[in-house]
Amino acid sequence: MRTAVEEGYYDTARTCSLTELAGEVGIAKSTCSETLHRAEETVIKQFIEDLPTPIESDTRITAPE
């Protein structure tokens, strides 16, 4: 994932294709795709776990109006 970020794979618009990224790291395109998908799954699931639950969100302290 670090190489994907450094090479611009996650930029909008992408500056590096999956084919180019796979070539950069020396693996097959399909392997690169699967590896990124698994890493993305891990990152997204961890992000979601770290979000407050709706109940926690409702009990946040807010400034008086």
pLDDT score of 60: 58
pLDDT score of 33: 98
| Whether the Cβ atoms of residue 32 and residue 25 lie closer than 8 Å to each other | yes
Inside any domain, residue 31 = yes
pLDDT score of 58: 59
| Number of domains the chain is built from | 1
Inside any domain, residue 39 = yes
- What residues have CB less than 8 Å from 33, skipping those under 6 apart? 18, 22
Domain range enclosing 42: 2-54
Inside any domain, residue 62 = no
Tens digit of each residue's pLDDT, the chain (65 residues): 999 999 999 999 999 999 999 999 999 999 999 999 999 999 999 999 988 877 665 555 566 66
Inside any domain, residue 59 = no
pTM for this prediction? 0.73
